[in-house]
Structure 1
Amino acid sequence: MILELIANLYKPSDRHQSAIKLAEYLNGRDFIIFIKDPVIDVYLPGPGFTQTLYGGSTWDSFLNSAAKTQYSGKLAYPDKYNLMDAIGYPGPDESIIVLLGTSVLHPELDQLNKIMPLIVALLKQEQASIAVKSLAVTAEKETKKAEKLAYQLDIMGQNLRKTLMQQQKDKAEINDLMKKKDEFMNIASHELKTPVTSMKAYLQMISQKLLPSLKDKQLSSFIEKSNKQIDKLAVLINDLLDVSKIQAGEMTYQFRKFNFSALVKDAVDEALNSTSEHKITVHCTLPPDFEVTGDRIRLEQVLNNILSNAIKYSPSSDEIIVNVGLVNNYVEVSITDFGIGISGEQLPQVFDRFFKVQNEDKRFFGLGLGLFISSEIIKAHHGEIGVDSCLGEGSKFWFKIPAK
C-alpha cells in the first residue's frame, strides 16, 4: 500500500493530494519534501507540494534544526491560527522530509527513505526547469523593454536630425534637447544594467550547480535562449554607456604596445562565433610580430562593430573580406561586404549618433550607435575612418591609425 502511495508522488499534477494521502497512512495530516534552492540558499517546498506556509520564522527555525538531525516541534498549519505537531529529518542531497500532524515516525517510512534519492532528483530537475523558464521569460521581457527603448531613441534621433536641418530652430533649444536626450540615455542604461547583470549571474549559477547533473535538452535550450537575450541587452546597454561617456568627455583609453595581427584574428574569430552563414577571408601583409601602440580593447570594439554590421547587413551574401596592411606609416584596415549597401543620401550620416541604414524589407536590431562610437575611438588614436558604398552593391568600411 505505502509503495503505491509513494509512487503517486512522481506525478506533479496531483502531488499535493498524494502527499496528504501518504501522510494519513502514516498517521499524519500532510507530508512535504523541502529542497534547498541553489540560488538563494533557502529550503523551499518541492514543486507540487503545498507552497503556502504561515509563521515563517518558526518554519525556518524548524527546518534549520531538521536539516541536521531528526527534530520534533509545533508549526502553524494549515493556517496561522492552528499549531500542529510536526516531525522532520534530513533527506538526501540537501533535502528535508517533514510529516505534519504527528510527532512519531511511522515504521513504514523506511520504504520511502529507500527511494528518496530518486524523488529528490526528480524534484530538483523540476525546480531547475521552473527557474530556467522563469529566467527566459524575464530575459525576453527585458529585451522587449530594451527594443522599445531603442525604438524610442531611434525616433528621437530622427527628430533631432530633422530639427538640426531646420535653420529656423533656435540653437539654445537644440542644445537643451541634446542635453535631455543624453541624460535620458545615461539614466536608462544604468537602470537596465543592474537587472541584466543579476540575470547573467543567476544563469551562471544554475549552469554550474544544476545542469551538470541533469540531462534535459529543453533546459539547455532555455538557458541558451536566455543567454542570447541577455547578450543582446548587454550590447545595447554598453553602447548607451559608451555614448554617455563620450558626450561627458569621460571615455578613457589605455595605450600600450600590442600585436595588431593577433587583434584582427581575435576579432574575426569572435565574429565567426556569431554566425554560421558567413565566411570571412583575411588578407594581412603585416609582419607576424608587428606591434602598434593603442588601446587594444577599444580597437577590437571597432573591428567587432564593423564586422557585426557586415554580417547583419548581408542577409543574402555570405562573403566578407578583411584587408590589413601598412600604408605610408599607417596601419590600414578595410572590411568589405556584399550586402544591401548604403544610398548616397545616407552616406554622410553613417557615423552620426542613432543612424541606421533604412531598408524597406527589414528592420535591423540595434540603436545605431556602434559606428559613432567607433569613429570616436579612431579619432582618439589620431586616425581616420570612412566608408565607400553603393545601394545594393555592398559596403567597404575602412580605418587607419598611425603605425608608431
Structure 2
Amino acid sequence: MKNTELKSYMLILAILLFLYTGYQVITHQLFYNQLKADSITTWGEITARLVEQNPNHEAEIMKVLTSHAADSSIYQEKGREIFRQYGLDEDLESELFPLLNDHIAGHNQSVLWGLFILGFMLFGTGYWHYKMIFHKIRQLTSAAKKIIEGDYSVVINENKEGELAKLAAAFRSMKDIIRKSMQDLLEEKKFLGQMLQDISHQLKTPLSTISIYNEMMLNESLPRQQHVQLLQNNEVQISRMNVLIQNLLKVAKIDARAISFDKERADLVETVEEVVDRLASLISKHQLSIEWDTSKDVVVAHDKMWMQEAVLNLLKNAIEHSKPGGKVMIQVKDTPIYTELVIQDFGEGIESQELPHIFDRFYKASSSKKHDSVGIGLALAKAIIEAHNALIKVESEKNTYTKFTITFIKF
C-alpha cells in the first residue's frame, strides 16, 4: 500500500480493534470467574445444609455437583419437576434470580461501555486524522493565494511519505517554476526595455545625420558634386543602420533561444579558411598578412554558418584594429580534452579596465579609432560561441596585441 496516510489510519483502526477485543475477552473472563465464584458459594451452602441433615449422602451429593453420578438424568428430570411446582423453569424472568441478574446486568453494562469507548476512540481518531489532512490542504491553499499575490517566500514542509508529501513536493516544484517564469518575464521585460533604449540611441545618430544631409540637399544652389557626396554619406549611414538592425535581430533570436543550431562534426580549420576568403579584400585594403599555425582535419561539432558569423566578427575586429602592414595570427590547437581557436592581432590593443566590457552590447573602447562601429559584433560572436557550449576569453595589452581564444570542450 503506497498511500501512507491510509496505511497509518488503517493501522490505528487495527490497534483500536485489538484493544477492544482484549477488553471484551477480559470482561467475559471476569464475568465467568464471578459467576463461578457465586455458583460455588450458593451450591456450597446447599451442599452444607444437605450434608448436615444427611451425612451419609455427602459423596452422592458431590457426584451430582461434579456430573459424575451414573443416574444424573433421572434426578435432573425429578429436580425440574420439583422446580416447576415452585414456578421455576427456563421461561422465568432473570429478575427473579437476583444474583444471576446482577451478574448479567453488570456484564451487559461492561459491553455497552466498551462499545461506547470504542465508538468515541474511532470518532476521535477519524476527526484527528481528517483534521490533520484538511489542515495541510488549508496550508497549501493559503500558500497558493500568496503565490498568486506574488509572494514566493512561502515554505511548504512535508517530511513524511505519502500522497500529501507528493502533493507538497509537486506544489514546491510548481512554485519554483512559477517564480522562475516570473523572473524570466521580468528579465525579458528589462532586456526588451534596454534593447529598445540601445536601438533608439544607436539609430538616433545616423538618422540625425541623414536628416541633416537631406536638408542640405534641398538647397537647390548646391552643386551636383555636393549632392552626390551627401547621397553617398546617406548610403553609408543607411548601411550602418542595416548592419546594426540585422545584428541586433540575430542577438535577440539567440537570447530568446529562437534559433536551432544545426551542429555537425566538421573541420574547424576549413570553416575559418572560408571566413578569411570572404575578408580577402578587407585584408588587402589594410595590407595585412594572415599567419597560420594549425593542422588539417581538426573536427569540432558546430553549426558552420553561425560559427562563421562569430569568427567573421572576431577576425574583422582584428583586421580593423591592426596597424597597416601588420599581421593577424590564427592558431588551432587540438587536444584530447579540448580544441582551441586563437585569433590575435598586433595593433591598438585594449586598456585593462575596458577588457571586462568589450562583449557588452554597444560598448566601444574609448581609445578606439573606428568611429563608425556600433559595438554589436563582439556581443554577437560571444552569444554564438556560448550557444555552442564553448568558452571565449580575451587578453590584451595596449598598443601591443589583442588575443581572442575560443575553447571547445570535448566532454
Please say which structure displays the higher CA radius of gyration.
2
**TM-score category by the smaller chain?**
0.3 to 0.5
Q: Answer 1 or 2: which has greater strand percent.
A: 1
With structure 2 as the length reference, what TM-score do the two structures score? 0.43
Q: Answer 1 or 2: which has greater helix percent.
A: 2
With structure 1 as the length reference, what TM-score do the two structures score? 0.43
